[in-house]
Structure 1
Amino acid sequence: MKKFLLVSALFFAFIILAQNCFAKIWLPSVISDNMVLQRNSVVTIWGWSSKTIEPITVTGSWNGVAVTQDAYQGKWSVQLTTPEAGGPYSVTIEGHETITLSNVLIGEVWIASGQSNMEWSASSGINNAQDEIDQANYPNIHLFQVPKHQSPNPQDDTPGQWTACKPETMKDFSAVAYFFGRKLHKELNVPIGLINASWGGTRAEVWLNAKSLINDSDFVDLKEHFTENKWHSSQPGYMYNAMIAPLIPFEIAGAIWYQGEANRLDPDSYPGILESLIRNWREEWGSDFPFYLVQIAPFNYKEKEAGVLMREAQLKTFKKVPNTGMVVVSDIGDINNIHPQNKQDVGKRLANWALAKNYDFTDIAFSGPVYREGKREGKEMVVYFDYADNGLMKKGDELTHFEICGPDKIFMEAQTRIEGNTVRVWNSKIINPIAVRFAWGNSAEPNLYNRAGLPASCFRTDNWKIELDENKE
């Protein structure tokens, strides 16, 4: 009996020793060397342990404060308080083994997402591409590229790694995100972390948690029309599951978004979808962070009015959803190239929204004129604009792309006159004007700006139903 007990004790001791020898702590890829943590915040460091229960201690070298939480069923998370921007620091994770993360910076972290115009890199083709690549040496800008993959179920982790911004890492990273981050870095003089999760050709629905659509009866009919294509699934949630969910709850300052072309045949549904996406991301992250979007550029789409209706849909979302901003790019597009090469100004304009709204820069113009209301005065319509406090201006001899109609709803080219922050619109053949449209076309490149030199968004004063199926060119 004594021999049996001795053997049993040795056996169990061996098992315990083996468990300790082979036990492991691991982290999601977004928590790694070279990561950027959000400054002046409470950030979450999380991971997994092969031990069901054990205490995990995490310490940031910026203050030396050790925070301990027990892993539960192999999962653990710890909250650290971050200071003002700085670094490099280290983060130490201690359990049955010790992991030390190095070259950790603290600054501003932004996520970039959308389809091909956000995915588009310097190596894909942008203005002055080689010069931009050669000059992309910013050791305090760090990049995290989420590779393109999809899943029917939410994932805990994604491949990817944080790298310092240098020519070889910048050239294949989102150009819009890079120029956005570079502008912030230069103006704020703090480290910048950029996470790019984008995929060309994707619809907005794939980027939100599918529960947001399943529980919303407004989208029942829409979901029946999703189809597969040769690049990826169009099923709701598939890119969210694989490319967004694994990043949560990594603390971010906000999001930038460039997408819409793939949804252009469903413009009526898009405002609700994009609103759901913004609300969903904010709920998942537990933060009402800013969300800045790019209105799609002018392009010769084969479906008449599909592009302008999508721009209108994006405008509606911007007007309705709090803490959002919208960049107009009608002056820097290319009607023959769905991927305009001027990504520098797109990133700069996005950054100006953030600088003005999130970082208290009071002397930065961040939006072009946005339609507020139209009023009839006799034979004329007077159009009022927001973001035009210092007045409106035209570039060129004549103000272009205004149309007006009477009760017959037949729009005719209009004469115009700028008066301060309003535009008077008329046509001598129309005695009883009832509606005005501006830049109402897929490839419209109008010339109305505010005094800061930012272009006006397309708009219409009517809300008449436009059936795309009846308007194919």
Structure 2
Amino acid sequence: MTPRIVLASLAWLAFVPAATAAAAASLELPLVFADGMVLQRDAPLPVWGQARPGCQVRVTLDGEHASGTADPAGRWAVTLPPQVAGGPYVLAVEGCGQRQRIADVLVGEVWLASGQSNMEWPVAQTLHAAEDIAAAGDPQLRHFKVPRSWAEAPRTQLEGGQWQAASPETVGAFSAAGYAFAQELRRTLQVPVGIIDSTWGGSSIEAWMSAGMLGLDAAALEAKMRERRAAEEKIEQAVYQRVAAWAPVDPASDAFAGAELDTSGWQPIKVPAAWESQGYEGMNGVAWYRTTFELSAAEAAAGITLGVGQIDDTDTTWVNGKQVGSTVNAYNKPRVYEVPAGVLRAGTNTIAVRVQDDGGGGGIMGSPEEIFVRPQGGVARALGGPWLFRTAQASVAMLDDKNQDDTLLYNAMLHPLQPYALAGVIWYQGETNASPEGAYRYRDQFRSLVEGWRAGFRTPALPFLWVQLAPFHSGGDQLDAQGRVLESPWATLRESQSATLALPATGQAVITDAGDSNDIHPRDKHVVGQRLARIALARVYGQQHIAWTGPVFREAEVRGRELVLHFDHADGALAARGGGALAGFELAGADGRFHPARARIEGDTVVLQAAGVDRPVGARYGWSDDPGDANLVGRDGLPASPFRTGQW
């Protein structure tokens, strides 16, 4: 290429907080500019950082260079011209006698993956983990993990992170949905692909929004922060006092496992329930639970099956001082252990459970039915307690709920990335906001987030693709006496997600056929990444032959006792998944009461009729938290999005 000088555009810096004098004294780049990085092809490339005020900074990449001057606060920014896909290159940054050399730089497609746990979920914990890890070995597919972090004001620097190429040693920790998405892009586009993974499990949408996106002024935000800090300090002090009653012991010790033990200093605790909900907010570390159960001589001689619930995160379990089981880092796996006769005794038997929690909720959780003693050949008996509790070694810090608070993740995990050049964003979030209060509000929040992120990355039409919530039995649906859904926060949130498709350059991956009624984290992330990739390839990269969406409801037409539903993207391909009859449709008259509907396909329409509905007024489809039976599909078997024809 012919070298060109490109002058810096510094207007965006007005929105970045001033750096400290110490940071400005040396030449510094955002941590995402690091060895192994991937830069976006065919787009202007912002490069920015800190230096001594007045310092002249020169940036060079593959013969192209750009220069700029650090402002009085030490901030500098330049923009390199667009580059075609290629590499590896060296990105060199020089200024005031200092030099940084970033090696192994590729130019290709860069996507930001964000949201909560279903986007964060690592390859190692998925349905296809073994095959994905064994087959990994693509040096041109790279992943940058932004560490979980939070801040009360927008930061200019991440807390950490590094670029890693896909290999059997690294890919297990990659975002599984992001990795499957990137693999599809690599196969089709044949250019380097980078995924920037900025995710935090359990996070709310509000945490990923700036004060401006939330409509908060500086004074209102600071007032909220002060209230939160004061409340947290009060809680921390109370928990510290409670925990201080117990002398710390080695967290790996089995000192409290024995059958005979003085527990006079222990405290009662409810099981199942997180210890955070019982006066131990913000506590992480190791704690012990103890209880007893009774057996007859015959039952003790035959052995039992013991259930101790879902334990967050790791447990070791003893009966009468003998270890009977242990499970590591499986917060949502019910613990079921076989206890042989040689461990048991007629009469009273003692259970001791050592629990290690590394963050988030901790303790013995799950459902009461998962905590039981079942004699051989008998029925399960509930382990109702009483349970006793004490800590072994614990720390207290109000960190776990930071992913719920306004702006905190945006400030630390998103703002420092702006305005890195991107091809687009993939987003999987919403479970946390699927509440009666939050589900409808989400449509305005989501729109504001999309528009705000586009402004921050200085790309008004930045492609923004997301995953609609998967089916899951949340327990949050409000039902009538006949079991019909009256209100469904999860269905309403899906509707809010669909409403955001009104924005340009957006797309939604529907996965009503790929959920798990009993697990909020469906383990098949291939289907998630592949459906996002279909949208990207068709809508962003112009691969017009690729089917990228299922049928989308457009309008309803009353025809006597029938209601005719018209769809976009039907393409003459409407069908019932797997064959057979259509399911998941309901019909209502003027009274607003929904009845199961018989549905048939006529061309690009679905015709509904229901007993008890002589004059149909409205319909809905897949309207529940767990619409796995909703089976309308279109081209390539892509499922239709749940919908309702009006608000009831």
TM-score (norm 2): 0.65
Indicate whether 1:76 and 2:76 are aligned: yes
Other structure's SS at 1:25 match: coil
SS, match of residue 516 in structure 2 = coil
- Runs of at least 5 residues in structure 1 that lack an aligned partner in the other structure: 1-21, 465-473
Which deviations, in whole Å up to 9, do the C-alpha atoms of 1:146-182 show, x marking residues without a partner?
A: 0001111101111111121212221112100111011
Distance 1:67 1:406 in 2: 66
Q: Give, in whole Å, the separation in 2 of the partners of 1:394 and 1:94.
A: 61
Greater mean alpha carbon deviation, residues 291-300 or residues 390-399: 390-399
Match of 1:306 among 478, 489, 493: 489
- The aligned residue for residue 183 of structure 1 is 184
Larger radius of gyration: 2
Deviations 1:316-374 (A, max 9, x none): 122x2221100110101111110001100100000110100111101100001111111
Structure 2: 5+ residue runs without aligned partners?
1-23, 233-280, 283-399, 478-487
Say if 1:69 and 1:78, in contact at 8 Å, map to a contact too: yes
| Residue-by-residue CA offset, 1:355-407 (whole Å, 9 max, x unaligned) | 00111101100001111111101110000111112330012321111111112
Letter aligned with residue 452 of structure 2: N
Match of 2:608 in 1: 425
Of the three residues 596, 618, 638, the one matched with 1:454 is 638
- Could you tell me which amino acid in structure 2 is paired with residue 437 of structure 1? R
Q: 3-state DSSP class of the match of 2:152?
A: coil
CA RMSD of aligned residues (A): 2.0
**Which of 405, 409, 412 is the matching residue for 2:588?**
405
Contact 2:547 2:635 in 1 (8 A): no
**Secondary structure of the structure 2 residue equivalent to 1:77:** strand
Whole-Å separation in 2 of the counterparts to 1:379 and 1:92: 72
**Equivalent of residue 351 in structure 1, options 533, 543, 548:** 533
Residue of structure 1 equivalent to 2:469: 296
Match of 2:548 in 1: 366
Q: Percent identity?
A: 40
Residue pair 2:595, 2:611 contacting (<8 A) in 1 also: no
Paired position in structure 2 for 1:258: 428
Moved more, 276-285 or 51-60: 51-60
Residue type at the aligned position of 1:285: F
Deviation at 1:428, TM superposition (A): 4.1
Give the total of aligned pairs.
434
Secondary structure of residue in 2 paired with 1:349: helix
Partners of 2:187 and 2:418 lie apart in 1 by 28
Q: For each residue in 1:273-323, what CA deviation from the matched residue of structure 2 results, as whole angstroms up to 9, or x when unmatched?
A: 0000001001111102010010011111111112212111111122x2221
Bigger Cα displacement from structure 2, 91-100 vs 283-292 = 91-100
Give the Cα separation in 2 of the matches to 1:245 and 1:422. Answer: 45
Separation of aligned partners in 1, 2:65 and 2:469: 47
1:10-52 CA deviation, whole Å, 9 max, x = no partner? Answer: xxxxxxxxxxxx9631211011111111111110111111x22
Secondary structure in 2 aligned to 1:141? strand
Residue 626 of structure 2 aligns with which residue?
A: 443
Shift of 1:127: 1.1
Cα separation, 1, equivalents of 2:53 and 2:25: 10
Query: 2:455 is matched by which residue type in structure 1?
Result: E
SS in 2 for 1:310: helix
Runs of 4+ in 1 over 2 A off after TM superposition: 223-230
Moved more, 439-448 or 68-77: 68-77
- Cα offsets for 1:416-469 (capped at 9, x unmatched): 1101111000124321111111111111111110132100111111212xxxxx
Q: Is the 8 A contact 2:128 2:524 kept in 1?
A: no
Q: Which residue of 1 aligns with 2:131?
A: 131
Tell me how far apart the structure 1 counterparts of residues 35 and 185 of structure 2 sit (CA, whole Å): 22
1:57–1:68 contact (8 Å) kept in structure 2: yes
What residue is the counterpart of 2:454 in the other structure? Answer: 282
Conserved? CA contact 1:82–1:106, under 8 Å: no
* Aligned counterparts of 1:172 and 1:147: Cα–Cα separation in 2: 12
Distance in 2, matches of 1:212 and 1:368, equals: 31
Matched to 2:40, the amino acid is: Q
Superposed displacement of residue 71, structure 1: 1.7
Does the Cα contact within 8 Å between 1:406 and 1:435 map onto a contact in 2?
Answer: yes
What amino acid does structure 2 have at the position aligned with 1:387? H
Find the counterpart in structure 2 of residue 203 from structure 1.
204
Name the aligned partner's letter for residue 239 of structure 1: L
In structure 2, the residue matched to 1:468 is none
Counterparts of 2:64 and 2:623 in 1: how far apart (Å)? 58
Deviation string, structure 1 residues 39-93 (Cα, Å, up to 9, x no partner): 11110111111x22121111112xx133221222322111111321000011111
**Aligned partner of 1:83: which letter?**
Q
Assess if the C-alpha contact under 8 Å between 2:463 and 2:506 holds in 1.
yes
Aligned: 1:383 with 2:565: yes
Distance 1:196 1:362 in 2: 28
Q: 1:25 aligns to what?
A: 27
Partner of 1:247: 417
Structure-1 separation of matches of 2:554 and 2:495: 13
Match of 2:70, SS? Answer: strand
- Matches of 1:401 and 1:66, distance apart in 2: 58
- What is the distance in 2 between the residues matched to 1:390 and 1:55? 62
Hey, what does 2:38 align to over in structure 1? 36
Instruction: Find the counterpart in structure 1 of residue 151 from structure 2.
Output: 151
Q: 1:391 to 1:66 in 2, by over 3 A?
A: closer
> What pairs with 1:193-232 in structure 2 (closer than 5 Å)?
193-215=194-216, 230=282, 231-232=400-401
Q: Counterparts of 2:547 and 2:455 in 1: how far apart (Å)? A: 30
1:198-218 C-alpha deviation (Å, 9 max, x unpaired): 1111110110112221359xx
State the partner residue of 1:107: 108
Q: Using the alignment, how far apart are the partners of 1:46 and 1:168 within structure 2?
A: 32
Q: CA deviation at 1:128?
A: 2.2
1:329 aligns with 2:330: no
Q: Which residue of 1 aligns with 2:350?
A: none
Matches of 2:644 and 2:195, distance apart in 1: 36
In structure 1, the residue corresponding to 2:48 is in which secondary structure?
Answer: strand
Matched residue type, 1:207? W
Given that 1:179 and 1:343 are in contact with CA atoms closer than 8 Å, whether structure 2 keeps it comes out as yes
Contact 2:112 2:197 in 1 (8 A): yes
Taking the aligned partners of 1:69 and 1:343, their CA distance within structure 2 comes to 43
Is 2:64–2:81's contact at 8 Å kept on the other side of the alignment? no
- Tell me the amino acid that sits aligned with residue 321 of structure 1: L
